[in-house]
Amino acid sequence: MSLIQLETTADPHRFALPVTSAVCVGAPGSQFLFGGAGLAVSVAALEAATGRPAVWAAAQYLSYARPSMRLDLDVVVPVMGHHSAQARCTGHVGETEILTVNAALGARPGDVSMQWPRAPAAPPPLDCPPMPYNWARADDDIHAHLELRTASGRYGSERTVGGVSPDGRTLLWARPRDRGVVIDRVTLAVLADFLPSGVGNAIGSIAGGSSLDNTIRFARIVPTEWVLLDTHIEAVHAGFVHGSMRLFADDGTLMALGSQSMILRKG
């Protein structure tokens, strides 16, 4: 079972996501669809429409979807090759476009499977403290469905986190709380959107980011209970933040790479 559940329709290229609190973030009364959930459900729609696994997917966020709304997802496949496809998913509520996701999907014959980045040393997940929350949130939002534990970096609850980070890096363990949810491309797309949570650590104050875009690239997906989110905030300038993330299985396998540009939000 995936973390985000996609609804099918009579049209094999149209799908839907009822927007509930479980896929949202934000303070009660002003919740909105979590960007990673939007990317994840688009990946699910693209894979369902093409019958092929995603290689990469890039979302551009245009507007907000709120609880009780229905997000319709329309897939267009301009290119369907022998082994790969190029496709696009547009998510909209009525006439309002919420996000657009471009992607490549497929798998080619070959026996080469390698990785060069290595998982950083980190304490075991259950030896790490739960990630604290420094903002108002609904009890049943998307965070309620994920267990997040801080392996390194600062997610402090004080008004100042305490000094600019020397390397802009945080390590966070993550796993689904719900029984039966597997770590697949959909779940990884959700987890990759925790990249903005590293902004406060990097600049030394309570801060985050509103995602402008969100790209994920998939490598080898292996069975794992936990995912280590290795986040790097790389640059902050003119009110914008740029960062990247590597997502490792608990055996050190590199499963995905993410990147984003964000609007800087300071508390």
- What is d(CA 258, CA 185) in angstroms, rounded to the nearest whole number? 12
**Is 256 or 155 the better-scoring residue by pLDDT?**
256
Q: Which of 210, 200, 189 is nearest to 263 (CA)?
A: 210
Query: Mind listing the pLDDT tens digit for each residue in 100-128?
Result: 999 999 999 988 999 999 999 999 999 99
pLDDT of residue 158: 45
Query: Mind listing the pLDDT tens digit for each residue in 71-106?
Result: 999 999 999 999 999 999 999 999 999 999 999 999
Mean of the pLDDT values across residues 207-228? 96
pLDDT of residue 223: 97
**pTM, full prediction:** 0.95
pLDDT of residue 159: 47
Mean of the pLDDT values across residues 21-39? 95
Q: What are phi and psi of 242, to 5 degrees?
A: -125, 135
Q: State how far Cα 69 lies from the chain centre.
A: 21
pLDDT of residue 39: 98
pLDDT at 162 over 80: no
Percent of the chain with pLDDT over 70: 97
pLDDT at 14 over 80: yes
Token pair 């890096």: residue: 169
pLDDT of residue 156: 54
Mean of the pLDDT values across residues 231-245? 98
